Amino acid sequence: MGQISLPSNLLDRIKRVEADIQRLWKSTGLASATIAAGGLTLLNNAFFKMLGASNNEIVYIGPDGLGNQVVRIRDAAGNIVFGSVSAGGASQRVAINPNPAGPARIEFYDDGNTTDRVSLSLNGGNFVQQREIQATNAINGGKVSFYSGNSVFGHQVAGADAYLQFTDDESIFLRGKWATSVAFSGHSALFVNSLGGGGASGPIILSASYGPTMIGTMRPVATRQGPAADCYWAVTSSSSTGVAISSSGGADNLYHLWIFRTA
């Protein structure tokens, strides 16, 4: 007697196909996926995107529509908490730990300068932020350094170093020189100058204007340098526009001024 295909047998086969489809869906990641070997490669400018419950973007890696490849991570509120620079250009970027074998380091590169960069690094307990030459890592500008036991704020170019240093025994060090006759549009905390010298023989009045009208009260500290002479001298006027020193005598009077602002 020959076998007859019964309807019940067909239904079993349909159920098995459905079960296979469910397993296939699961294995392709619609619910979850595991790649046990090999890898995931996206070709031809494809993108990788992860969305939240309300279709809000959480992670995006791919083209931004402007010809740039970008990486973007957002928090639940939509704020970008990590983003790659996508303004274009050959070198503008931020590199985090570009040398995996080196110290912890972040480097900032700018299109406007292809020879220098700014780096943040932590090495041996020393935190350093500085402008540096790309080819050599040598400092070439500003620096903020927190070393063990001391902190430095300053600027160094080719061996010329001006900095303010604080140590953990309360010492303060200042290296460099004072810029003279700087009023900072009336806001300078300090106006330093030396007046007189050759030919400024007494009795004489030496006046110095600041340029801009200073916004507060200026307090002059002055001293006379010159040949010993039986003379007296004093700061005879001080205002927001300038200062004057008068001397009763002396030859080639040179006055050093240290004028600080208190208001």
Partner 1 sequence: MRIRHTDVAFETDNDRQFWVIYGTQTADDGTEIGHRHYLPADTLEWRAAEYDIDPADTATLLDIVLAEPHLSEEDWAAGHKLHDAPDIDTARRDHLARCARAKLRHRISTRTRASTKDTPAVPHPCQRVADESPLHPEAIELKRQLVEQARTAHIATQAAAPPDRIAALRAAVERGQPA
Binding region for partner 1 (CB under 8 A): 179-183, 185-187, 193, 195-196, 200-213, 215, 237, 239-242, 244, 246
- List phi, psi (to 5°) of 27: -70, -25
Shortest gap between Cβ of 239 and partner 1 (angstroms)? 6
CA neighbor of 191 nearest in space, from 254, 247, 262: 262
Q: From the CB of residue 192, how many other CB atoms can be counted at a distance below 10 Å? A: 16
Task: Judge whether 82 and 71 are in contact, CB under 8 Å.
Answer: yes
Buried b / exposed e along 225-236 (16+ C-beta atoms within 10 A): ebeebebebebe
Of 205 and 221, which has the nearer Cβ to partner 1? 205
Shortest gap between Cβ of 216 and partner 1 (angstroms)? 8
Of 183 and 222, which has the nearer Cβ to partner 1? 183
Residue 112 CA to residue 91 CA, distance in Å, equals: 9
Shortest gap between Cβ of 257 and partner 1 (angstroms)? 10
Of 106 and 254, which has the nearer Cβ to partner 1? 254
In angstroms, how far apart are the furthest CA atoms of the chain? 145
Shortest gap between Cβ of 56 and partner 1 (angstroms)? 39
CA 96 to chain centre: 14
Of 109 and 210, which has the nearer Cβ to partner 1? 210
